[in-house]
A and B are shown apart, each in its own frame.
Chain A
């Protein structure tokens, strides 16, 4: 049996690393969001400036990330649902092999791939034109907010699907089978029996994706040249062009609040689960 003291010593290096490399910079940027460098005082000046400059972008980020999360949820339910309930063995095997690929591709590469794929004269439109479905004049570029949503969904769906398919596989199959015996259709089994049982896993996957998408800089930067854009781009701009860490920190603070709201939901659920098991 390891003593209390030894166990504390064992986790000390990890704790120190956390404190030095993560908590300190986090606390530092949170505090310095309230520092008005030019006026030499503390206050909420950075926040009013951030709001008057970037309120549209704050809302835009919220809408994009929420929309992407919804799309990811729908797609991952569809994919993991088929993996669990699909009848064609070959199709299930193929899907299982295919869907994980985007997991291994970094966001920046995904963004670059989408740039060539979704452009006005990109691969997708060229293919549609070749197939005779569109004329060259009808093509439109998807390199705007839609591009961001598509990239996020493409990149994060496998992650949520992985969690979800795992949860579905560990379900007791007898309920599914008895529903099948009673003549329920697969869609009804999926939404009536399977999804409610894995809803918590789905939520966790979506919350983690939400936080991850909030922090991505490369995708909005490469895909969406327009205004409004996402908060990360504005933060980079304030720092790179002006050396204005105050407003950048304020924007970061706002992003923290947005993710904190979701993370709070996650933690609350985790705690409730632990209590339930204990």
Chain B
């Protein structure tokens, strides 16, 4: 009898609790990526959400760049697996780790439940490094790596990885990158190297995965080891930009968005330029996703809806933070002036981007590549 009564009143009790709590609720957002991504949520998106949803506070945690940052979020969710309600409502993670989380059932499908779900049709919203993530993710932005260089120090601007190799050999210490342990721009350069010298890049991107493929990379990694003898190692994504700015290196792989943002903030020599070499360098989206048992799933959807609305994508993602938009470009072009839109393509033209911007390889190839870098290049 008492169980029945309890069941009867349970919905009422829950409703009461949630309305009561709505007075002062906190939405917990965990974001991987460099500091600019944390800034984006704390300084821009969070306050906007709080303004539109009185009573809500957005609490943001940054977990750091590269796989490590997103891995931290994965481990946090995994640790709460047995509980009914998880303490993280929105996560922002990279492709590799998001795919792993989808596979291990840590995320929930939500894209068809939000108004902006059909504004994105790109392949990256459906597949992440070979894993089907359709419905689980909304791309926050697309980002691209490129080679930044100092025109005062680089006379013959390289157009391909071959040219960069030759230039670095002729100018020891002039080329700088951050290896693979200190952020994704170095990983991206390593990927570009394997795309160029390790066999068929398209196979690594489209799959299917073949375990034997990595055996063909020996020469490429041996060359990279020789190449490393002539380069300067930088302490991270920001470290490469810092050293470029101080003139300590003349060339290095960077994230395009960080480059433009730093330049706009006056933290980077305005003369520095970007190039996207042949046969191509990788880029990646970061995803908004909702943990399977997020305590505030509904608010999380609202938050992501706001974040992927054309206005926010235009104003925040493109104009303020210099990323390429996460949703389809045609939806935001109308919300932007021509000048801002063109600023994204100052150094790297849309045609150049179409030809040389590549995704990262399948997750399994990606892991093979990093492991081989450690065994063949650094050890």
Contact = CB atoms under 8 A, between A and B. Distances in A.
B66 interface: yes
Which of B74, B75, B378 lies at the interface centre, i.e. has the most chain A CB atoms within 10 A of its CB? B378
Interface in A213-236: 222, 225-229, 233
B228 to A, nearest CB: 8
A132 B178 CA distance: 32
B233 interface: yes
Nearest to B228: A227
A54 B379 contact: yes
Contacts of A53: 371, 374-375, 379
A133 B239 CA distance: 28
A243 B75 contact: yes
Given A52-B379, A237-B68, 5 more contacts: A53-B374, A53-B379, A57-B379, A119-B246, A141-B232
A240 B68 contact: yes
Interface residues of A, number: 23
5 contacts: A53-B379, A225-B179, A228-B379, A240-B64, A241-B68
A56 B379 contact: yes
A222 B71 CA distance: 21
Given A52-B375, A53-B375, A56-B379, A121 B246 contact: yes
B81 interface: no
B182 interface: yes
Contact of B179 (A56, A119, A226, A241): A226
10 smallest A-B Cβ distances: which pairs? A240-B68, A227-B378, A226-B233, A225-B235, A225-B233, A241-B68, A241-B67, A120-B248, A53-B374, A56-B379
Interface in A36-52: 52
A135 interface: no
A242 interface: yes
Interface in B330-379: 371, 374-375, 377-379
A243 B178 CA distance: 21
Interface string B76-96: 000000000000000000000
A233 B234 CA distance: 15
B267 interface: no
Interface string A118-134: 01110000000000000
Interface in B211-261: 228, 232-236, 239, 246-248
Contact of B248 (A141, A226, A233, A243): A141
A225 B67 contact: no
A197 interface: no
A55 interface: yes
Contact of A56 (B181, B235, B371, B378): B378
Interface in A130-167: 141, 143
Contacts of B379: 52-57, 228
B169 interface: no
Contacts of A52: 375, 379
B66 A241 contact: yes
B48 interface: no
Interface string A240-265: 11110000000000000000000000
Contacts of A57: 379
A243 B179 contact: no
Contact of B72 (A55, A120, A227, A240): A240
Nearest to A141: B248
A254 to B, nearest CB: 14
Nearest to B246: A121
A228 B236 CA distance: 16
A237 to B, nearest CB: 5
A225 B182 contact: yes
Given A53-B379, A227-B233, A233 B247 contact: no
B71 A240 contact: yes
A56 B72 CA distance: 27
A105 to B, nearest CB: 20
Contacts of A240: 64, 68, 71-72
Contact of A225 (B228, B234, B247, B375): B234
B71 A241 contact: yes
Contacts of A222: 235
A177 B27 CA distance: 74
A225 B378 CA distance: 12
A227 B179 CA distance: 8
B369 to A, nearest CB: 13
Contact of A237 (B181, B235, B247): B181
B71 A243 contact: yes
A235 to B, nearest CB: 12
A216 B335 CA distance: 51
Interface string A48-76: 00001111110000000000000000000
Nearest to B69: A240
Contacts of A225: 178-179, 182, 233-236, 239
A227 B234 CA distance: 11
Nearest to B234: A225
Contacts of B233: 225-227
A226 B75 CA distance: 28
Contacts of A228: 378-379
A233 B377 CA distance: 17
B239 to A, nearest CB: 7
Contacts of B232: 141
Most chain-B CB neighbours within 10 Å: which of A120, A226, A241, A243?
A241
A54 B235 CA distance: 19
Contacts of A233: 181
Contacts of B375: 52-53
Contacts of B371: 53
Given A53-B374, A225-B233, A120 B71 contact: no
Interface in B27-84: 64, 66-68, 71-72, 74-75
Contacts of B75: 243
